[in-house]
Amino acid sequence: MCGINGIISSKYSSEQLTQTVQKMNNILAHRGPDNEGIWSKNIVSLGHRRLSIIDVSEQGNQPFFSQDKRYVIVYNGELYNYKQLKLDLQRSSQGEIKSPWIFNTNSDTEVVLAAFIRWGSKCLQLFNGMFAFAIYDSQLNKLFIARDKLGVKPLYYHYSDDVFMFSSEIRPIISSGIKTFSLNKDALPEYMMYQTVMAPNTIIKSIKMLMPGHYLEVENQIATITQYYSLHSATNNLNTETTYLQAKNKVFELLSSSVERRMISDVPFGAFLSGGIDSSAVVALMSKISSQAINTFNITFDESEFSESTYAKIISKKFNTKHHEIKLTPNDFLNQLPLALKAMDHPSGDGPNTFIVSQATKKEGVTMALSGIGGDELFAGYNVFKQMKTLSRKNWINMLPLFSRKIAGTALHLKNKNIQSIKTKELLEKNTIDFYAAYPLSRALFPNKLVQQFFQNSTPYASIEKIISAITSNQNSVLKAVSQAEIETYLQNILLRDTDQMSMAVALEIREPFLDFHLVEFVLSLPDDLKYPHSPKKLLVESLENMLPSEIVNRPKMGFTLPWQHWLKNELKTFCEEQLNYLIKLELFDKKELLNLWQLFLNNSTIVTWSRVWHIVCLGFWLNENNVEV
């Protein structure tokens, strides 16, 4: 896992381009402490920071060149099926005129380059992994950039008439000195509503994110983008002929293979173990595959209210792992919070937890760890899955007159003055009540009415509505529709982005077995009756037979909980008010409305909880820390 940068422009000298990429490389140093490389020629310069995982020898350093020096690659990622592809490339297929590739390294980087040279953009269909890479063809003066199918690894870019730039993070582009970048004010309502900006947009105007399953080509300084993979197309048809027994067996087979592929490493590795179903499933399969004890890591607190250590110990004991309890007090966490906030590449309210876990794991001598991210999205682990399924059975609601629905919504809100009642009221006021109307509300932090008080005539739902408009939802595929929506919104734009930026801030690579596209496609293609969570993640748990103890399966869902509500009102109160005042100073938020929101939180409002102000605080800190113009 690494960091990549690049620029292509005829406006600047080769020396200027090299200096720019050097500056970008310096900003990405945390992603790749093992080696640095820069290559420049004429109008292009490529940069790389290396975190050595596969083939840690110097031969794997980048930028990496083809044998004839025509092609050069900078690559960030892991190609899990690289050994099989390497065998294919070492022999000529019938009808191909190209000679077998003679490999000089054991790295997956060389396999990616060889595959591109052999098959062109079609190689992307063969890749199973997480990646973002750039290949420059010095003969055609053409740049090719690609991102993995599910968007595990990020890739940001800026494109204008005279320059194209890309990077693994936003900050190197902002600080490159090529131009002045400013805040994307149009994205503020969406950020307030969802604590993120949905790709391809970002919080910075004129910096985009390359979408998952897409590649980008720059030739004659003209950039074109092509989609090579669509989750919707890959799961368009339901697998109605599959029995429940067949589904269980296939899930076990695909998840086991995914875990095994992700255990390939030339450096020490382990697994995050919260003691939940997902992380426990990953550890169970790792232990089944490995002949050696697996290193497992759990953050534990003395306060039982916040600690999941009891559950992690059950799994560790059952599978005889080499367990590492990393004990923290809430104050330990609080003291490390400034470092976590400084590590944010894109503002978010959900990243500090990952930073603290990653930092503690890295200090134990581990460079790579497996995670249970994605299990909830595939196996209906969130409440929204049951909610949407229940809603799909209540089509009769649409037969009620709109005015009566509005009356019912108002009555419900007056009875229960909380955020859920406000969302229900807003839903009942829609012309049609279905998945497409309800889903955008499910992840919303605020009702639309409140956001409009801050940003009049804004459309905070626009991006998420566009994403789900391409999703097919019917009575037999509601869970599939929710899975796809969760993957393409919350997972890709918050969980994966935060996981990458916070883990790579301490040079720790995280791999997600649940996000193997073979597994994702199979589970999403199953009809709802095979994967409805009558018990927690029923299909996943039962596919593992009796590997997971009942204490794990039936435990309450906790997540990584800390006393944020208390902190924001006490230890972090001054810090929060400084960031909110900075936003007011920039005239980004109405002073009266923002201070009223903060006061509602301080007064224990059931509507404005800590998570509904913290991401706004983080935005103020991030803009100030990175000197972003408005």
The pLDDT-based confidence of 92 (bands split at 50, 70, 90) is: low
3 state DSSP class of 324: strand
| Residue (of 402, 448, 411, 462) closest to 429 by Cα position | 402
Residue in this structure with the two tokens 């910096």, named with its chain if needed: 207
In 3-state terms the chain splits into helix, strand, coil percentages (rounded to 5) of: 45, 15, 35
Q: What is the pLDDT of residue 549?
A: 93
CB 101 within 8 A of CB 68: no
Averaged over 367-391, what is the pLDDT? 95
**Segment (H or E) for 166:** strand 164-167
In contact, 509 and 366? CB cutoff 8 Å: no
The rounded distance, in Å, linking the Cα atoms of 90 and 100 is 5
| In contact, 437 and 485? CB cutoff 8 Å | no
- Give the Cβ contact number of residue 568 at 10 Å: 22
Task: Tokens for 5, please give them.
Answer: 């940068």
- Residue 237's CB is within 10 A of a number of other CB atoms, namely 8
Could you tell me how many helices (H) and strands (E) the chain has, helices first? Answer: 29, 17
Token code pair at residue 491: 């997972």
Residue-wise DSSP of 402-427? HHHHHHHHHHHHHHS-SHHHHHHHHH
pLDDT score of 99: 67
445 DSSP assignment: S
Query: Do residues 59 and 108 touch, judged by C-beta distance below 8 A?
Result: no
Output DSSP code: residue 170.
S
Coil, strand, or helix at residue 78? strand
pTM, full prediction: 0.95
CB 272 within 8 A of CB 371: yes
- The CATH number given to 2-170+207-229 is 3.60.20.10
DSSP helix/strand/coil, 627: coil
- Rounded mean pLDDT of 272-293? 94
Q: Provide the pLDDT for residue 339.
A: 92
Among 88-102, 441-455, 533-547, 576-590, the range scoring the smallest mean pLDDT is 88-102
CA atoms of 508 and 269, how far apart (whole Å): 10
Cα gap 101→87, rounded to integer Å: 9
CA–CA separation, 314 and 114 (whole Å): 45
Cis before residue 63, ω within 30 degrees of 0? yes
Nearest CA among 113, 192, 91, 84 for reference residue 580: 192
User: Considering only 9-18, 183-192, 358-367, 430-439, which range has the smallest mean pLDDT?
Assistant: 358-367
Buried b (16+ CB within 10 A) or exposed e, 65-82: ebeeeebbbbbbbbbbbb
| Helix (H/G/I), strand (E/B), else coil: 129 | strand
Output the pLDDT for position 353.
80
Question: What letters, b where the CB count within 10 A reaches 16 and e where it falls short, cover 7-35?
Answer: bbbeebeeebbbbbbebbbebbebbbebb
Residue 252, token pair as written in the block: 């076990």
Distances (CA, A) of 471 to 148, 234, 410, 527, 575: 20, 12, 31, 15, 41
pLDDT score, position 533: 95
Token readout for 135 is 């290949």
pLDDT at residue 412, rounded to an integer: 85
Q: What is the pLDDT of residues 525-578, one digit of tens each?
A: 999 999 999 999 999 999 999 899 998 998 776 655 678 888 999 999 999 999
CB 403, CB 397: distance < 8 Å: no
| Predicted confidence (pLDDT) per residue in 175-220, tens digit | 999 999 999 999 999 999 999 999 999 999 999 999 999 999 999 9
Extents of the domains making up the chain:
2-170+207-229, 564-625
Q: How many residues does the chain have?
A: 630
**What does the alpha-carbon distance between residue 151 and residue 497 come to, in Å, rounded to a whole number?**
9
Distance (Å, rounded) from C-alpha 376 to C-alpha 533?
11
DSSP string, 221-286: TEEEEEE---HHHHT-S--TT--HHHHHHHHHHHHHHHHHHTT--SS-EEEE--SSHHHHHHHHHH
What is the band of 349 on the pLDDT scale with cuts at 50, 70, 90? confident
Report pLDDT for 98: 63
Distance CA 446, CA 192 (A): 8
Rounded CA-CA distance 159/145 in Å is 13
365's tokens: 């001598």
Report phi then psi at 4, rounded to 5.
-125, 150
User: What DSSP line would sit under 275-295, residue for residue?
Assistant: SSHHHHHHHHHHHHH-SSPPE
- Distance, in Å, from the CA atom of 583 to the CA atom of 385, rounded to the nearest integer, reads 36
Cβ neighbours for 495, distance < 8 A, ≥ 6 positions apart: 350, 373
9 has a pLDDT exceeding 70: yes
With beta carbons less than 8 A apart as the criterion, state whether 269 and 370 touch. yes
Strands 269-272 and 295-301: parallel
Segment 260-278 mean pLDDT: 91
Rounded percentage of the chain residues whose pLDDT exceeds 70:
97
Structure tokens at 315: 């799994």
Beta bridge partners of 209: 156
Question: What percent of the chain shows pLDDT beyond 90?
Answer: 76
* Alpha-carbon span 372 to 356, nearest angstrom: 17
Q: What integer pLDDT is reported at residue 561 of this predicted model?
A: 63
Residue 506 CA to residue 363 CA, distance in Å, equals 9
Residue 118 has, within 13 A of its CA and on its CB side, a CA count of 24
